Amino acid sequence: MFKTNGLCVDVDGLTLLNDLQQDLQLNNIQLLHSIKPVNDNIMISCPSHKDGQERKPSCGMSLVDTRASGKIIPAGTVHCFTCGYTADLTSFISFCFGYRDEGLYGNNWLKTKYRTTLLETPRDLQLNIDRSKPVEKYPTIPDTILDNYAYYCKYLADRGISKEVCNKFSIGCNPEDMTITLPVKDLKGNIKFIQTRNIYSKFYFIPAGIKKTDFIFGGYECIIGNYKSVWIVESIFNALTLWELGIPAVALLGTGGGQQYNLLKMLPTREFIIALDNDTAGIEGTYKIIRKLNTTKVLKILQYNSNDKRDINDLGAEVLSLPLNNIL
């Protein structure tokens, strides 16, 4: 049963999607080629990117209420983990039929197909939630979605990232749009979002609704490895470079902020080596980390050569020869 746009719809998610696929085919619309239940989601071929013709499903319809960025996301919400397309159930149905009408066509389609009842007010949509189990701020992405990206490509090899390190962090490549897929986990090892990096440019994409300062990349691996000394860097590729050199590292996906300082404090790590980029933003981020962590952790700073603007990935093994300055 779904509650969407003032309607309570008496149908299960799998039946609804199969019925929708059949009606689309009757209208000569070839979408939703794959429909596969996975835990609390049903994975489907995204109707938004690749003209709806992607080979492996990267879009999920939630079967339970979840929470993201402090907001309740009701069951029936559709979200693509690749392109970021997000819609409520009625708008998704309208979109599939070619309408951009804020769900009007989808609403009528549901009322025609199934037994529906009206909710008293739109407010009920957010208040009528099963509180028997906690609602996650960021829903966990099923591990199976990574099967779509289980490819090792020349770009990764050229950046000096081995298959072994890629496997450790489930790094892959989406062959449909030639982006590198970089899963980001919480400290329990649950995948919360997938950052992508275009092979042909330096453009990074983070799905809508994700606040990157709520996460650190590599934290889970540092916990299970029980490392006593860990490097802090900005980008995921900088962290992967250090892991290649046998150095455990976490990435802030930037210069740091928000909940990241608390996440760093939670790591069973006695010593941090701060190695943000050697530019103005990196230096400011370094001072922030010192202010936040200096009373709880032993801190050292990587001392770059003064005019060297290369980051960790550019430096590679050269980074091992650079001095470390103690923070007292």
Domain boundary assignment for the chain: 2-127, 143-326
* DSSP SS3 for 308: coil
Range 92-107 average pLDDT: 84
Could you check whether 2-127 and 143-326 share the same CATH topology?
no
CA distance 46 to 96: 10
Q: Which of 55-59, 147-151, 212-216, 253-257 has the least mean pLDDT? A: 55-59
Q: What is the pLDDT of residues 20-43, one digit of tens each?
A: 999 999 888 889 888 988 888 899
- CB-based contacts of 307: which residues, under 8 Å, 6+ apart? none
pLDDT of 168: 96
Place of tokens 């603007």: 309
pLDDT of 133: 44
Q: Which residue has the higher pLDDT, 74 or 118?
A: 74
- Quick one: what percent of the chain has pLDDT higher than 70? 90
- CB-based contacts of 186: which residues, under 8 Å, 6+ apart? 138, 192, 215, 219, 220
pLDDT of 82: 81
| pLDDT reading at 299 higher than 70 | yes
pLDDT of 238: 96
| pLDDT reading at 120 higher than 80 | no
Nearest partner of 185 among 221, 232, 233, judged by Cα:
221
CB 105 within 8 A of CB 99: yes
DSSP state of 217: B
Q: What is the pLDDT of residues 122-135, one digit of tens each?
A: 433 343 444 444 44
| pLDDT reading at 138 higher than 70 | yes
Mean pLDDT, rounded, of the chain = 86
Tell me which of 3.40.50.10190, 3.40.1360.10, 3.90.1150.180, 3.40.50.150 is the CATH number of domain 143-326.
Answer: 3.40.1360.10
Q: Under CATH, which number does the domain 2-127 receive?
A: 3.90.580.10
CB 250 within 8 A of CB 239: yes
Q: Which of 68-72, 102-106, 192-196, 202-206 has the least mean pLDDT? A: 68-72
Q: What is the pLDDT of residues 257-271, one digit of tens each?
A: 999 999 999 998 999
Put the strands of the sheet holding 324-326 in their side by side order.
249-251, 229-233, 271-274, 298-302, 324-326
Nearest partner of 195 among 85, 82, 276, judged by Cα:
82
CA distances from 149 to 144, 170, 181, 215 (A): 10, 9, 7, 22
Confidence of residue 136 (pLDDT cuts 50, 70, 90): low
CA distance 38 to 290: 42
Nearest partner of 76 among 67, 145, 65, judged by Cα:
65
CA distances from 140 to 61, 131, 150 (A): 13, 18, 19
CA distance 194 to 77: 18
User: How far apart are the two ends of the chain, measured CA to CA in Å?
Assistant: 59
Q: What is the pLDDT of residues 180-232, one digit of tens each?
A: 999 999 999 999 999 999 888 778 888 888 899 999 999 999 999 989 999 99
